[in-house]
Amino acid sequence: MVSLPKIDLKNPESVVKEIFDDDRWVKDEFSSHCAAEILEFGKALADSFGKFPQLDALTENDEQAAFVAGFVHGIFDDLLTSMKLLVTGKLMASGNLMRQAIEGVAVAILCSSRKLILVPDTNKKKPAIMIKYWESVKNEDERVNSNKAPRQLCKNCDALNISIVGAQELMKARDKYHQFSHPSMMALASRMSLGEIGTLFVGGSFDMAKLPGYKKEIEERTNLCRTLPNLIDGLMRNLKATQHE
3-state secondary structure of 200: strand
Q: Give the global pTM.
A: 0.91
Are the beta carbons of 13 and 7 closer than 8 angstroms?
no
Higher local confidence (pLDDT), 162 or 197:
162
Is the pLDDT at 243 greater than 60? The verdict is no
For 102-135, the pLDDT digits (tens) are 999 999 999 999 999 999 877 777 888 999 999 9
The pLDDT value recorded for residue 93 is: 93
Q: Which residues are CB-contacts of 112 (< 8 A; sequence separation ≥ 6)? A: 64, 68, 134, 234, 235, 238, 239
Among 6-10, 34-38, 149-153, the least confident range: 6-10
Quote the pLDDT of residue 94.
95
Q: Does residue 113 contact residue 65 with C-beta atoms inside 8 Å?
A: no
Average the pLDDT over 32-57 and give the result.
Answer: 97
What are the φ and ψ backbone dihedral angles of 212, each rounded to 5 degrees?
A: -60, -35
Tell me what percent of the residues of the chain surpass a pLDDT of 90: 70
CA distance readout (Å), 76 to 16, 52, 238: 30, 10, 20
- Angle between helical axes of 211-240 and 91-111 (0-180°, round to 10): 20
Q: Give 93's contacts (C-beta < 8 A, 6+ positions apart).
A: 85
Distance CA 28, CA 214 (A): 14
Higher pLDDT, 45 or 182: 45
Question: Would the pLDDT of 171 be above 60?
Answer: yes
Distance, CA of 76 to CA of 70 (rounded, Å): 10
pLDDT at residue 77 in the model: 97
Q: In this predicted structure, which of 20-29, 116-125, 217-226 has the lowest mean pLDDT? A: 116-125
pLDDT in tens, 74-86: 999 999 999 999 9
DSSP state of 112: T
**Angle between the 24-49 and 63-86 helix axes, to the nearest 10 degrees?**
150
Q: Minimal CA–CA distance to 234: which of 121, 143, 103, 111?
A: 111
Q: How many helices (H) and strands (E) does the chain have?
A: 11, 2
